[in-house]
Homo-oligomer: A and B are copies of this chain.
């Protein structure tokens, strides 16, 4: 039986990072992949979605040019051309990743499906492989509720399917208002597709602050119908389309679409891994329990000398590239240095949804802070009259910045705003440094920049934290 120090299952973002990190420690390493090389990011995630959004953004900006004194004639969308550019550049990015993967010596790459036979033993394409340390980096797959799979039939699209279309559909019902759902829905509507977004639970993207969620719902809802608490009564399809019957506010209606996009979340891809043979403690979904600081999985009942790590989307945390990349690095490093495992400090959280205005969170999210029981204040800044945003005709949005009561330390922020993706980087950097609000006001803000709204929110936060000179009556009347 072939024996290696480290076996990595999955050559996606987490797996490739794990390989690079483990490689510092050992030559005896194998990277296993059963599908085509390439990452979710490049094939069906970050890159193609931003390509779709880039085209949508151009169409939207061109339509809105007249207010600036710019005449464009009618703006039309060449669907096949949009998809061609998307797929061409997507393939370009994908080729880069594939080349990087194939640069790994062949002896350290294994093609085939991996299954656990027993702790420390994998079966890969009929061959047995023993590994002292194993990294599970099998990624995630779209979660498809039975109602949609059965009801929408061949008209059902996952986000990966959407990016394979040769032309834009005439109409799409988007199930889910999470990150993928709202990004796709807004991009499609800006590309001339009739869209309805139906969701449950009331959330928008990764937002948890009810005030920002409401603002995001209002802004996005101004472009396309988005229902955050719809009851889906029936989904069926025939030659005319997919017919969706849904109830909003007690009223049922049926609408027909060419396609149904399922964006109801992603789940760890444990398919065919026979994870129950790995000797690990599993959660109710069959995903190994693991420690975020080390990526080490908890051993099951019978202790074994084999260490299993889990990284990236497979771990069940936020299925986004930066997390997968950090996870992979941590898991790979620890697989390499095993048994001297090291706790890696996690970076400050940063999440972005690429709608326009973009949605972002930096540091702790509102719900996390509430749950933590901390006493905190909220500094606010509206973009409705923000100078630069007014100049560019994109004055919509709201930033809420959370500061700890006792210390004034910045805890986190949620926002929907022009340039939010950039603001979130700046906010995350300030939060990462452990700054309190008055210290953060020491950084420079140029003029006129949308960043000035961050200063506004910091000043508001200082006032609410009583960190400026507050008149006594205002202090007494403080909520």
**Structural contact, A443 and B449, CB atoms closer than 8 A:** no
Q: How far is the CB of A9 from chain B (nearest CB, A)?
A: 23
Residues of B within 8 A of A78 (CB): 69-71
**Structural contact, A421 and B449, CB atoms closer than 8 A:** yes
Contacts A74-B73, A447-B46, A451-B422 given: A82-B68 contact, CB under 8 Å? yes
Bits for A43-56, please: 1 = Cβ < 8 Å to B, else 0. 00011001100110
A448 within 8 Å of B by Cβ? Answer: yes
Contacts A58-B61, A73-B73, A85-B69 given: A432-B442 contact, CB under 8 Å? yes
- In the complex the two chains form, what is the Cα distance from A51 to B389 in whole Å? 11
Count how many chain A residues have C-beta atoms less than 8 Å from C-beta atoms of the other chain.
74
**Structural contact, A347 and B446, CB atoms closer than 8 A:** no
**Structural contact, B351 and A446, CB atoms closer than 8 A:** yes
Q: How far is the CB of A345 from chain B (nearest CB, A)?
A: 8
Bits for A427-467, please: 1 = Cβ < 8 Å to B, else 0. 01110110100000011111111010000000000000000
Q: Which of A69, A347, A350, A423 has the most CB of B within 10 A?
A: A69
Question: Which residues of chain A from 58 to 108 have a CB within 8 Å of any chain B CB?
Answer: 58-59, 61-62, 64-65, 67-85, 89, 93
A241 within 8 Å of B by Cβ? Answer: no
Partner of A322 from the list B61, B62, B442, B447 (CB cut-off 8 Å) is B447
**Structural contact, A444 and B347, CB atoms closer than 8 A:** yes
Partner of A449 from the list B65, B73, B391, B425 (CB cut-off 8 Å) is B425
Please list the residues of chain A having a beta carbon within 8 angstroms of any beta carbon in chain B: 41, 46-47, 50-51, 54-55, 57-59, 61-62, 64-65, 67-85, 89, 93, 320-322, 325, 345, 347-352, 387-388, 390-393, 419, 421-426, 428-430, 432-433, 435, 442-449, 451
Known: A59-B70, A421-B449, A425-B426. 4 other contacts (CB 8 A): A55-B68, A58-B70, A67-B85, A422-B423
A-B contact pairs, 21 of them (CB 8 A): A41-B447, A47-B448, A50-B391, A54-B392, A58-B64, A61-B65, A62-B72, A69-B79, A69-B84, A70-B75, A70-B82, A72-B72, A72-B75, A73-B75, A320-B446, A322-B444, A348-B443, A349-B444, A419-B422, A421-B446, A429-B430
